[in-house]
């Protein structure tokens, strides 16, 4: 991203800026990796604005997703002859539609001795499955120790769906208004824009359920904790398949990741992403800042790719990646980059969950089987495969040495 005191690139109309900021996007950095479809129908955001935003983020190496879908959506909303029909629909419902929906009377859930109110409990959040807001709250209660293990004391971005998946998605960094005084927060500084935000930092399962009351479906924590928000205590390996890569390719690359971690004497904890990829988390000593953790992650990723070059890549620019490869995304360790937490639901029609698993399950795990309906029983039966993740923290010294070695043959990726 260009170094500028203006949080938006040149040429973004004032009307579009106001709409973006009203929706919770305080600057270009908030859109990094975001699906363009989510903002395509904001007032004043048309194709010209989409193009400028997409170009700026592409140049920064944090491209938007779903840009083509956004253009199709915009054309269909304008009713242009011959434009492609947008299959998703805007998802926005009129106030009269909402009034017709029987959302039910508020209920109160007892969460570890604290009563948490859930309004509109019958509002359908997952239309394809019929799952409601109350179902989402009860899901997080069922996996409470697991989701809290991934979120405890971490600043957490909320992916909110006030009208369920059929409506608009809101990316919420700042704590939503109306929070009770018992909900904990962490203040974060965003140096690029010299701005601050108080983000939710869950300390109890009640904090998680309160976020569901505020229409949260997904939880995306930072890889730092309240004790030191500038030094990560978690290194994240994100295996992101390109369009023609299969889940078998992802499994194969994950197997090499495990092999390399074992050689280093480092314990990695795998989980599904809830989509088509896999994540591996490693607890590290909070002795390095974001840039060093990202560089170490690049060194590790480069070593993995050197062992399975036919299936994996660290190519920085998406256009340069083989569509059959799995991108070992080291950049998820940069400041203000987040991934779905372990046990976080995903805002997908199937209601999949980012689910921890044991390494010996790798050959059989199927992310599509792990949903709001199935994960609670799995959790109750086998427990949490990440239960021991906080027992040992590792160092990054060998990975930084690898990074130095790989830098002799290739320029390190831009930040």
Residue 49: the pLDDT is 81
Looking at residue 20, its pLDDT comes to: 79
Owner of token pair 């990054």: 396
- Sorted by sequence, the CB contacts under 8 Å of residue 81 that are 6+ apart come out as none
Residue with tokens 């990829």: 277
Q: Which domains does the chain possess?
A: 14-78 (no CATH), 100-221 (3.90.920.10), 234-342+386-407 (3.90.920.10)
What pLDDT does residue 16 have? 82
pLDDT of res. 44: 78
State residue 250's pLDDT score: 98
Q: Decide if 301 contacts 390 (C-beta within 8 A).
A: no
Give the pLDDT confidence of 337-385 residue by residue, as tens digits.
999 999 999 999 999 999 999 999 999 999 999 999 999 999 999 999 9
pLDDT of 178 reads 80
pTM comes to 0.77
Q: How far is residue 333's CA from residue 306's CA, in Å, rounded to a whole number? A: 21
* 367, 273 Cβ separation under 8 angstroms: yes
Q: What is the mean pLDDT of each run of 10 residues along the chain (415 residues)?
A: 56 80 66 60 74 70 53 47 33 46 91 95 96 98 98 97 93 89 94 89 98 97 97 98 98 98 98 98 98 97 98 95 97 96 98 98 97 98 98 98 92 73
Contact 318, 231 (CB under 8 A): no
């Amino acid at each position: 991203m260009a170094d500028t005191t203006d949080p938006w690139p040149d040429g973004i109309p004032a009307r579009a800026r106001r709409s973006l900021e009203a929706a919770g996007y305080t600057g270009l950095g908030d859109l990094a990796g975001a699906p363009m479809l989510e903002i395509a129908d904001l007032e004043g955001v048309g194709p010209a604005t989409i193009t400028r935003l997409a170009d700026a983020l592409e140049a920064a190496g944090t491209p938007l997703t779903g840009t083509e879908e956004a253009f199709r959506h915009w054309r269909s909303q304008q009713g242009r002859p011959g434009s492609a029909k947008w299959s998703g629909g805007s998802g926005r419902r009129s106030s009269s539609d909402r009034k017709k929906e029987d959302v039910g009377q508020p209920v109160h859930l007892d969460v570890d001795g604290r009563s948490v109110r859930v309004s509109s409990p019958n509002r359908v959040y997952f239309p394809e499955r019929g799952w409601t807001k109350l179902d989402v709250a009860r899901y997080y209660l069922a996996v409470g120790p697991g989701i809290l293990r991934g979120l405890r004391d971490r600043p957490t971005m909320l992916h909110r769906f006030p009208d369920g998946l059929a409506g608009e998605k809101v990316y919420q960094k700042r704590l939503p208004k109306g929070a009770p005084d018992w909900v904990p927060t962490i203040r974060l500084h965003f140096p690029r824009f010299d701005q601050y935000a108080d983000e939710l930092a869950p300390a109890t399962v009640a904090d998680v359920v309160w976020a569901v009351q505020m229409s949260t479906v997904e939880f995306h924590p930072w890889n730092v904790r309240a004790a030191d928000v500038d030094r990560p205590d978690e290194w994240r390996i994100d295996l992101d398949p390109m369009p023609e890569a299969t889940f078998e390719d992802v499994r194969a690359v994950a197997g090499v990741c495990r092999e390399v971690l074992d050689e280093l004497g480092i314990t990695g904890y795998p989980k599904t992403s809830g989509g088509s990829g896999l994540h591996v988390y490693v607890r590290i000593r909070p002795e390095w800042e974001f840039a060093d953790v990202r560089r170490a992650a690049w060194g590790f990723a480069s070593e993995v790719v050197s062992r399975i070059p036919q299936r994996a890549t660290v190519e920085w620019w998406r256009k340069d990646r083989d569509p059959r490869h799995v991108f070992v995304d080291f950049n998820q360790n940069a400041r203000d980059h987040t991934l779905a937490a372990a046990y976080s639901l995903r805002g997908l029609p199937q209601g999949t969950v980012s689910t921890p698993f044991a390494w010996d399950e790798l050959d059989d795990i199927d992310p599509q089987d792990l949903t709001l309906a199935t994960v609670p029983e799995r959790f109750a039966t086998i427990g949490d495969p990440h239960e021991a993740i906080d027992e040992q923290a590792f160092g990054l010294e060998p990975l930084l040495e690898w990074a130095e070695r790989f830098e002799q043959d290739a320029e390190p990726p831009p930040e």
